[in-house]
A and B are shown apart, each in its own frame.
Chain A
């Protein structure tokens, strides 16, 4: 069974601080996606990484896919209150049309 563990589960920081969220698995994924979800809404895609070692930047967010395609990280620089939300990673399960979601990281950025 393919599982994705995210850490930390909860994170509360002050505006302007940096943070990193991790997404780890013992399985290899063909691609990995990061989503952000607001309360009462569906998740919205932030980025998809496909190649081992790939790094993508989206303004203050930096995403990295591990060399072995088993893990990923999301780094936020100078966090802002608007970054508050639930961050989810999702891996594409090999040989199927399934996506395996991580356990989630709830981020709160205080002004």
Chain B
């Protein structure tokens, strides 16, 4: 069966520090991968998505970036964090090139920037 991992689960970082969040998927090949950010009790904001290795589509201009160095690995990074980067970061995957397919979400990373 397929499994999605995210780490770390919780992170507290000072303003201006770098960031690296990792997401890996097991049990499938060539998934579509997504990074979302969620404010408390609100909907999800799509940040990046990838349909293949090295292919990244950015949805919002910001100080965040994403990379997909391997088929089942998706990394979210920042060189300098802002207070507004605080939130709950979720990674998700879908298998088929079919938008009726289920999105499976990871457990999320709670990021607090102080």
Contact = CB atoms under 8 A, between A and B. Distances in A.
A-B complex is real: yes
Interface of A: 4, 6, 30-31, 33, 40-45, 48, 50, 86, 88, 90, 92-93, 97-104, 106
Interface string B43-81: 111100101000001010000000000000000000000
Contacts of B97: 97
A42 B100 contact: no
A102 B46 contact: no
The size bracket of the interface on B is 20 to 34
A40 B110 contact: yes
28 contacts: A4-B43, A6-B43, A30-B100, A33-B103, A40-B108, A40-B110, A41-B107, A41-B108, A42-B90, A45-B102, A45-B103, A48-B100, A50-B100, A86-B41, A90-B103, A92-B99, A93-B99, A97-B49, A98-B46, A98-B57, A101-B36, A101-B43, A101-B44, A102-B43, A103-B42, A104-B41, A104-B42, A104-B43
